[in-house]
Structure 1
Amino acid sequence: MNEKEGDLRVPLISFLLCLCVLIGGIFLFLYLFVPNLSEPWFPPIALILIGFPWLLWLLTYIYTCIKRCFGVSSNNMDSNRQISRRTSTMANSRMARNASTTNGSNNNNVNVNALNSSHGSKSADASITSSQEIEMPLTTSAPS
């Protein structure tokens, strides 16, 4: 099961930020269009509530820039997995190239048809096949 399934942090934070903007907009609306109900503290509160999400995203952007500048990477395992996927994909494409050159052009057409038919399916194998096809050298698809 995916660890991120059922995680309520992102929807909760999004809801709170939308609520801040909505309440700030209501205060600003009351100050501008209903002067007899408005208080003198409505405009500063409205601007603070409306500006809070902008401040949050700006601080998040600054944090990610600083994190990249100092080389602090909390996802070294993710980058190692991506490198390992690339090397296995390259090895699979080399094996496919060797198999297609030894089996002749008829088998090469069958392999191409198999790759094309797998694009129609919605399984995870289709995305793996398409990524392998992208990384295959152009010389294997050209007739010699």
Structure 2
Amino acid sequence: MRLLRILALCSLAFSAPYSPPDVAAESDTGDFERRVAKESADTAAVFKIERFYAGGRSQSEWNYVTFAAQVTAGAAFAECSITTNTGPKVPTIEKTECRNATSLNKAIKWSLEPMGTGMMHFNVWWEFTSHAHLYGGVHMYQSWFKEWTMQDGSKVQEH
């Protein structure tokens, strides 16, 4: 049994990742930044978000966020939606599980939070194991949100 443990540990040690010598030799910050950008492009996000809508409902305090998320290419889209009664503007949603009227997907979590500059930050996490997850996010500029004045004078915000 002890021999098996030693063999397993040796195989882990020999296959452990190491930083290639060219990374250590890069002294120019520009070279390093170009390399990071290239590696980021090579490992582009796998998330696909479609049908994203957010806003308030006229003549009420209710608002909503709804979208469809595809976490890997070829996977089915998970429908995520939420409604709150925090006013007729796009709501702030702290990290929550993807759910809709008929289902709950605990592996996909998301949030929509203000950044203090008028922008909102939309985040999506896919927890594919108990120890690992993928994360994606996008800054949503203030110009992406429209505010409408209704006939009764109330204002509604939407994306």
The two structures share one fold, judged by TM-score above 0.5: no
Relative to its length, the structure with more strand (as a share) is 2
- After TM superposition, the score normalised by the length of structure 2 is 0.28
> Whose helix proportion is higher, 1 or 2?
1
